[in-house]
Amino acid sequence: MSASKSKVLLIGSGGVGTIASYALEYAGKAEVTSVLRSDYAKVVEQGFSIDSCDYGKIPSFRPTNVVNSVEESLKFGPFEYIVVVTKCVPEVSNMIDVIAPAVSPESAIVLIQNGIGIETEAVTKFPNNVVLSGVSMIGSANLNSHIVHESTDSLKVGVFESNKLDNELTQAVCKKFVTIYTNDKNECIFDESVKFSRWRKLVYNACLNGVCAITGVDSGRLELFGGVDGIIRKAMKEVLAIAKSDGVELPEDIMEFMIRSDDPVYYAPSMLVDVRKGNLLEIEVINGNPIRIAEKNGVSAPYLTLCYELLKVIQRKTMEQKGLLTVPKERPVPK
Amino acid sequence: MSASKSKVLLIGSGGVGTIASYALEYAGKAEVTSVLRSDYAKVVEQGFSIDSCDYGKIPSFRPTNVVNSVEESLKFGPFEYIVVVTKCVPEVSNMIDVIAPAVSPESAIVLIQNGIGIETEAVTKFPNNVVLSGVSMIGSANLNSHIVHESTDSLKVGVFESNKLDNELTQAVCKKFVTIYTNDKNECIFDESVKFSRWRKLVYNACLNGVCAITGVDSGRLELFGGVDGIIRKAMKEVLAIAKSDGVELPEDIMEFMIRSDDPVYYAPSMLVDVRKGNLLEIEVINGNPIRIAEKNGVSAPYLTLCYELLKVIQRKTMEQKGLLTVPKERPVPK
């Protein structure tokens, strides 16, 4: 049966990516080659340990092939699907350049990442490959190769509008991916309006996620301290206006739905967690790209714009702390 | 000669206030009663030690009278001037209530504090007392009753517009204060347009000070990381527009002057220093009051408004950390 399995290359084994590998291999329809970096040695030796709300306790999970570079993965290809589940931080690394050596004429690229406009580079660089859009709703974290998976894996997959390929082909490729990903424990659907789902998720991410990161408080405190009334509702209205200018009409009540979505928990959104850990944030795709769409379409979005500008400064502060940029020893001044 | 000295009550012996006490006693024209709290015991015993760019090294300075409460100060009154040099954080303490027991019919109240609209309560509560506006330009810090005074004491004093008293009286009271404060080492002038000076200083404080506090970077990095172009110039334009609506026409080039005013230093503005130390910020008088004037006068100020809203959240986070507010154990949710 092994010959009929789809070959999948998976990049990014954080909490979401490792559960995706597991899901793909669970029903025996895919053979996953996983590119690992920091976890490589440990996983080769011991595998991931998983504690999952969907799959239970798995003492040791090792994807079929574990490699430590894309170059090394090539011997297990060619790949039918190349699944990217990394954080999207284009200021620091270009994931499309990273996967390029593995992209064959038949490969479909699946971007399971947050944000808007994340596909531009893939579609431009690989105009003859299908590029799929995955919007994941899951709670899962990788704590030093131990996966704590707390809320069920629910994945919507569709075709990016910007694919200029035959519609029937792209849909077939997408639906096949849904078939191999789906098993009896998770939820994975083909989403004809995946663009809607992507903008919908952004209502939370561009607003609550970003403002909690800037202010350093969880979403419960943000509300108690006046930030939901003073900031979030206004910023969310801007997201809805930008989405509309991009052809996506989100219902007004999505705003209250997202504001209440962490109830009754003092919940620290992922960007706040990352700020606290000194990690980089996905600000270009979550905050920057919507602003650029707003500018292009003439939509006023002062709150989101200022949040983005503040997050850019915070991101550069983190980059300096991580040694990814240095400031001149003396402050440069105009002559 | 002691009988001819002006009796001055001084509240707030931080870096600015202690140099003010020293200045007032230096030329022998005033007798200062200083209300201390945290420094009280140490200063009674040893005095302040001062390292001053204006006065040199002073091993031990003790104002004429040192007390630990306004009530205790009364035995040294009545006071001709009551000088308030505290940080202005009305969310936490009402300084006018604090000084009230010491205000006699002849007392003038001198507010050497940052921000706009800081006099409202004094003028309302003491309509028959002169209320003076002091705008201080000084670099001075109190490090555990050791004063490090690094840039010269330059004080502008004028009469708040909202004083409804006879103009000749208020000006005479103000000029007398200038006379007793001035000595051969410092600079103190009677400022007929002190309102202009107050708004002028706010161009720096509401923008660079606030945004450095929010992002956690000094003003040099803020510029290198894009925040001056992306945020500060827009926010400063809003300050100028609000000032104009309040009758104060600031020159356009004040913006670049303030942006360059920390050159060539990677300078941490006071609000950033306070955030790093976990101190409360003067957000209501520096950020909140200008926004309220903008709203009243129909001036659009989205950047300053969002900065204020973010700072309010950060302030409440600090208040929680300091035990000045508590959040419910469980996050309240709407029924």
pLDDT at A335: 82
User: Do B282 and B210 share a structural domain?
Assistant: yes
pLDDT, tens digit, for every residue of B95-139? Answer: 999 999 999 999 999 999 999 999 999 999 999 999 999 999 998
Q: Which of B221, B292, B331 to mutate to test the interface with A (most CBs of A within 10 A)?
A: B331
Question: Which residues of chain B have a CB within 8 Å of the CB of A302?
Answer: 302-303, 306
pLDDT at B58 over 60: yes
pLDDT, tens digit, for every residue of B133-172? Answer: 999 999 888 999 999 998 999 999 999 988 888 999 999 9
User: Do A203 and A144 share a structural domain?
Assistant: no
Instruction: Describe chain A by its helix, strand, coil percentages, rounded to 5.
Output: 45, 20, 35
Angle of the A233-245 helix axis to the A289-297 helix axis, nearest 10: 60
Q: Helix and strand tally (H, E) in chain B? A: 16, 10
**Quick check: B327 and A224 CB within 8 A?**
yes
Report how far residue B178's alpha carbon sits from residue B187's, in angstroms, rounded to the nearest whole number.
Answer: 9
Question: Which residues of chain A have a CB within 8 Å of the CB of B316?
Answer: 217, 221, 224-226
- For A267, name the nearest residue in chain B, comparing CA atoms only: B331
Residue ending a domain, among A192, A226, A243, is A192
**Which among A214, A225, A314 has CB closest to B312?**
A225
User: Do A208 and A123 share a structural domain?
Assistant: no
Report how far residue B194's alpha carbon sits from residue A291's, in angstroms, rounded to the nearest whole number.
Answer: 40
Residue ending a domain, among A192, A224, A248, is A192
pLDDT, tens digit, for every residue of A99-158? Answer: 999 999 999 999 999 999 999 999 999 999 999 999 999 888 899 999 999 899 999 999
- For A301, name the nearest residue in chain B, comparing CA atoms only: B302
| Residue A31 amino acid letter | E
User: Do B209 and B174 share a structural domain?
Assistant: no
Q: Does B330 reside within a domain? A: no
Question: Which residues of chain B have a CB within 8 Å of the CB of A216?
Answer: 314, 317
Taking phi first (over 0 means left), then psi (-120 to 50 degrees means alpha), and beta for anything else, what does residue A144 get?
A: left
pLDDT at A63: 96
Report how far residue A215's alpha carbon sits from residue A212's, in angstroms, rounded to the nearest whole number.
Answer: 5
Band the pLDDT of A2: cuts 50, 70, 90: very low
What are residue A169's DSSP bridge partners?
none
Q: Does A331 reside within a domain? A: no
CA B275 from centre of chain: 17
Strand, helix or coil for residue A26: helix
Report how far residue A328's alpha carbon sits from residue A292's, in angstroms, rounded to the nearest whole number.
Answer: 30
User: Do B216 and B158 share a structural domain?
Assistant: no
Q: Does B150 reside within a domain? A: yes
* Average pLDDT over all residues of chain A: 95
Residue range B8-18: average pLDDT? 95
Report how far residue B91's alpha carbon sits from residue B78's, in angstroms, rounded to the nearest whole number.
Answer: 29
**Quick check: B309 and A216 CB within 8 A?**
no
Number of domains in chain A: 2
Residue ending a domain, among A192, A219, A235, is A192
Alpha helices, DSSP H, located in A57-127? 70-73, 95-99, 120-125
The DSSP call for residue B240 is H
Band the pLDDT of A161: cuts 50, 70, 90: confident
Q: Which of A228, A331, A335 to mutate to test the interface with B (most CBs of B within 10 A)?
A: A331
Max Cα–Cα distance, chain B, nearest Å: 71
Q: Which of A228, A233, A256, A306 to mutate to test the interface with B (most CBs of B within 10 A)?
A: A306
Report how far residue B16's alpha carbon sits from residue B154's, in angstroms, rounded to the nearest whole number.
Answer: 11
Q: Does B8 reside within a domain? A: yes
Contact in structure between A197 and B304 (CB atoms under 8 Å): no
Question: Which residues of chain A have a CB within 8 Å of the CB of B328?
Answer: 224
A63 closest CA partner among A28, A22, A29: A22
pLDDT at B3: 53
User: Do A179 and A201 share a structural domain?
Assistant: no
A224–chain B Cβ distance below 8 A for any pair: yes
B180–chain A Cβ distance below 8 A for any pair: no
pLDDT, tens digit, for every residue of A26-43? Answer: 989 999 999 999 899 999
- Strands B56-61, A187-190: pairing is unpaired
Q: Does A333 reside within a domain? A: no
Residue range A232-261: average pLDDT? 97
Q: What CATH number has the domain bearing residue B251? A: 1.10.1040.10
User: Do A187 and A207 share a structural domain?
Assistant: no
- For A259, name the nearest residue in chain B, comparing CA atoms only: B333
User: Do A129 and A84 share a structural domain?
Assistant: yes
Band the pLDDT of B184: cuts 50, 70, 90: very high
Give the domain range for residue A312: 196-321
The DSSP call for residue B5 is S
Q: What CATH number has the domain bearing residue A114? A: 3.40.50.720
User: Do B181 and B250 share a structural domain?
Assistant: no
pLDDT at B161: 86
CA B201 to chain A, closest CA, distance in angstroms equals 22
pLDDT at B1 over 80: no
Residues 240-279 of B with CB under 8 A from A: 260, 262-266
**Is A78 exposed, middle or buried, given 0-12, 13-18 or 19+ CB atoms closer than 10 A?**
middle
What are residue A25's DSSP bridge partners?
none
Q: Does B288 reside within a domain? A: yes
pLDDT, tens digit, for every residue of B223-275? Answer: 999 999 999 999 999 999 999 999 999 999 999 999 999 999 999 999 999 99
Phi, psi angle pair for A148, to nearest 5° = -110, 105
Residue range A247-269: average pLDDT? 95
Phi, psi angle pair for B222, to nearest 5° = -55, -45
User: Do B73 and B42 share a structural domain?
Assistant: yes
CA A165 from centre of chain: 24
pLDDT at A1 over 80: no
pLDDT at B163: 81
A225–chain B Cβ distance below 8 A for any pair: yes
pLDDT at B18: 97
Band the pLDDT of A3: cuts 50, 70, 90: low
**Which among A216, A302, A314 has CB closest to B303?**
A302
- For A216, name the nearest residue in chain B, comparing CA atoms only: B314
Q: Does B130 reside within a domain? A: yes
**Which among B262, B303, B313 has CB closest to A226?**
B313
Contact in structure between A170 and A197 (CB atoms under 8 Å): no
Band the pLDDT of B2: cuts 50, 70, 90: very low
In a 13 Å sphere around the CA of B282, the CA atoms on its Cβ side amount to 22
Q: Does B329 reside within a domain? A: no
Phi, psi angle pair for B215, to nearest 5° = -85, -20
Phi, psi angle pair for A154, to nearest 5° = -125, 115
**Which among B224, B230, B331 has CB closest to A309?**
B230
pLDDT at A286 over 60: yes
CA A121 to chain B, closest CA, distance in angstroms equals 25
User: Do A229 and A82 share a structural domain?
Assistant: no
**Which among B230, B262, B306 has CB closest to A312?**
B230
| Residue B255 amino acid letter | M
pLDDT, tens digit, for every residue of A55-74? Answer: 999 999 999 999 999 999 99
Report how far residue A218's alpha carbon sits from residue A266's, in angstroms, rounded to the nearest whole number.
Answer: 6
Is residue A78 reached through a cis peptide bond, with omega within 30 degrees of 0 on the bond before it? yes
Residues belonging to chain B = 335
- For A224, name the nearest residue in chain B, comparing CA atoms only: B327
User: Do B87 and B219 share a structural domain?
Assistant: no
Report how far residue B305's alpha carbon sits from residue B295's, in angstroms, rounded to the nearest whole number.
Answer: 10
